[in-house]
Amino acid sequence: MGTFGAAVIGLGVMGASALRALAARGVSAVGIEQFTPGHARGSSHGESRIFRLAYFEHPAYVPLALAARDAWRRLERETGTSLFTATGILEAGPPGSAIVAGSQRAAAAHGLAQETLDAAEAARRFPAFRLPAGWQAVFQPDAGFLRAEAAVEAMLLAAGRNGAAILSGRRVSAIEPGRDGVRIVIDEAEALAAERVVVCAGPWLGRLVPGLAGALTVTRQTVGWFAPANPALVAPDAMPVFILDASDDTVYGFPDFCGSGVKAASHRPGATVRDPDDAATGDAEAEVSALRDWLAPYLPAAAGAVRRSSRCLYTRTADEHFAIGLHPQDRRIVLASACSGHGFKFASILGEVLAELALDGATRHDIALFALGRCWNEAKT
């Protein structure tokens, strides 16, 4: 099947971004996707993803988020597409909320714009919400949402324009490093060779790279779209994206930007998935109905009927930070996954990071927080 300068395994948002970045550097690149690009069986579908700057997970994410914002703008210009909508983000919770406090720390550390609101002020500014008395909220005006599937499509369009090849409906069954390159076995019958390989297999990463298998947990997350009681209150010009951090759940969501309804989902771990090829189990209808009931007191303007539901997969590390770096046993292979449900927004810049790692052996961006060493299991290499 030929020899390439670089191959990318998995064309979700991370793989698509890596393929685009490699092709932009003039490398003969191929992307391999076991399904059809844009499929709904992994972690990159579902219409929209939150973009935010004041990052409660760790202040070290903020410089990467700022770089990602610039990279998304470049992708929009390059492809003539509109991918980001600014709505701001409302993050709220009871006193002591780790999300509110973490967001405040990140904003203070990096001089980001942010307002602190009490429940009454939040309701006045954003009438769709009814936060409990005593809750505190922070509002970041520079946040918003990305159009998820359109973003993947734009990345692959840009990659193709720069000469990248795409093999879809082809499953990688083995990665075999050799003296003259890395052999990639496809469908257990054919093979291609590449000088460098970037593995962005998401929930399937542990299957391809056993050294990471014990460090990764895949969970099934149910997402719902709910009919608005008052459409005007949940439009993007009236309602920001949000994260509500209550004691019994953490729920995030989006305004109704395309008539599908208000989208919301729990960020807390769903059911563990042992086999990502068989993830569509469980009672989705019951799960999304429970989510609507949970959301109703906080967001009564979006407490209508369930319009539809979907599922996505989180691939988590124990600390919920990403896992990115050179393969500990072969520097020709770059590994990227375990984005723990909050990685999409960074994909625009992480594609460049992965290309730099593959071609240069290092990156100009600080990714120390994501070091593979904390996840690698030498006994399972």
Q: Which CATH number fits domain 89-141+217-316: 3.90.470.20, 1.20.58.220, 3.40.50.300, 3.30.9.10?
A: 3.30.9.10
Q: Which amino acid is at 371?
A: A
Dump pLDDT digits (tens) for 231-269.
999 999 999 999 999 999 999 999 999 999 999 999 999
CATH number of the 3-45+149-214+319-380 domain:
3.50.50.60
Contact status, residue 127 vs residue 92, Cβ threshold 8 Å: no
Whole-model pTM: value is 0.96
Is pLDDT at 214 greater than 60 in this prediction? yes
For tokens 């790279």, what's the residue?
209
Q: How far apart (Å, rounded) are the C-alpha atoms in residues 280 and 270?
A: 12
Dump pLDDT digits (tens) for 103-131.
999 999 999 999 999 999 999 999 999 99
Is pLDDT at 380 greater than 60 in this prediction? no
Contact status, residue 316 vs residue 217, Cβ threshold 8 Å: yes
Is pLDDT at 310 greater than 60 in this prediction? yes
In sequence order, the 6+-apart residues with CB closer than 8 A to the CB of 15 are: 8, 9, 31, 33, 198, 200
Phi, psi of 328 (to 5 degrees): -60, -20
Q: Which amino acid is at 172?
A: V
Return the DSSP state at 46.
Answer: S
Is pLDDT at 209 greater than 70 in this prediction? yes
Domain ranges of the chain: 3-45+149-214+319-380, 89-141+217-316
